Amino acid sequence: MILSNWHVLAGASAARAGEPIVQPGSIDGGTETVATLTRMRLDSRMDAAVATLNGVRSHTRDILGLGTVSGMEAAHLGMQVQKSGRTTAITEGVVDGVSMSVNINYGDPGVVSFTNQIRIVPLPPWPAVDTEVSQGGDSGSIWLNKANNKAIGLHFAGENDPTPSAENAICNPIEAVANELNFSFLPVPCKPKPYMPYFDICERFPWICRQFDFGPFRPRLPVPDPRFSPVDTPPGGGLRGPAGGLQSASESTMSSAVHADGDCGCGGAIDERELAELIAMYLEARRR
């Protein structure tokens, strides 16, 4: 999956799950669809969305220049953090405000009143001189605790004030985002789903249907479809573009590849003897 902001992956009130996600973003000249919009949320807690990769592009779980996210934790005042973004690349900061309420104008959906947000300012020396902790295009970056590479926030907003002492970035607490959008930065244990998806056994194994003399009866048994491949755990965050840099999704940063329960196919193979036994059990159950 791809994690970024609602205003990056969705971007309009009319956006619906299933819409194509191109990478690099259209403003950066991208045209190739790499994912489809899956889940999104723009409310008082978060500006966030996830998209499901379609497999046309290889990916890594590492964030460009920062490595693998080691988990999640809550931010606290004074915590030193870093992010890797599409515009300002790697920048370092320190958590300067928490439990923040702030109104932000989104244009199309209007003003959103956020609560419990996190403010980040540049690392000392302070105030920052000619330092941008973030700029337009960095939305969707993940702020990591420098000490342990745990994610603390999903970057979504900042100021456009040229005054050095005003430089700051704002992010959503990452744990709320992960809970709401159902993803993890760590590999999710694969849970077998033997009943997903269904397929017609007589289409795949016609000799079995002939053997049991099904006639016009064509049962649809809960058997995993062998054409449905399990999703492998990616070897390592962000999609990498042709130049090796972290590229944008719509116009900003697709932070990293994340995992969700729904990523696990786990259909697995089934041999024909097991299938015959399954059918016999099924027919026996029908006779009772």
Partner 1 sequence: MSTEPDPASTEAAQSALEEVAQEWMARSGVVSVEVARRRDGDVPTGEVGIRVTVTNKLAPDDVPADELFPESLGDIPVDVVEGRPPEPQLG
Interface residues with partner 1 (CB under 8 A) are 5, 7-8, 11, 25, 27-28, 47, 76-79, 86-87, 94, 96-106, 113, 115, 117, 119, 121, 124, 126-127, 134-139, 155-161, 165-166, 168-170, 248, 250-252
Nearer to partner 1, 5 or 38 (CB): 5
Taking the complex as a whole, how short is the minimal distance between the CB of residue 154 and partner 1, in angstroms?
Answer: 12
191 CB-contact burial (10 Å; exposed 0-12 / middle 13-18 / buried 19+) = exposed
**DSSP summary character for residue 184:** B
Minimum CB–partner distance for residue 186 and partner 1 (Å): 26
Sheet holding 47-53, edge to edge: 20-22, 33-42, 47-53, 2-4, 256-257
Beta carbons within 10 angstroms of residue 82's beta carbon:
21
Contacts for 59 with CB less than 8 Å, ≥ 6 apart? 53, 234, 238, 239, 240, 257
- Minimum distance of partner 1 from residue 277's CB (angstroms): 57
Least distance to partner 1 from the beta carbon of 67, Å? 23
Please say which residue, 93 or 265, places its beta carbon nearer to partner 1: 93
Closer CB to partner 1, 144 or 264, in the complex: 144
For residue 238, CA distances in Å to 1, 2, 19, 248, 255 come to: 10, 8, 20, 9, 5
CA distance 94 to 44: 23
Tell me the closest approach of the beta carbon of residue 101 to partner 1, in angstroms: 5
**Which of residues 29 and 215 has its CB atom nearest to partner 1 in the complex?**
29
Q: Which is nearer to partner 1, 82 or 117 (CB)?
A: 117
Give per-residue burial for 240-271: e unless 16+ CB within 10 Å, then b: bbeeeebbbbbbbbbbbbbbbebbbbebeeee
Min separation Cβ 88 and partner 1, Å: 10
Nearer to partner 1, 159 or 200 (CB): 159
For the chain, how big is the Rg over CA atoms in Å?
Answer: 23
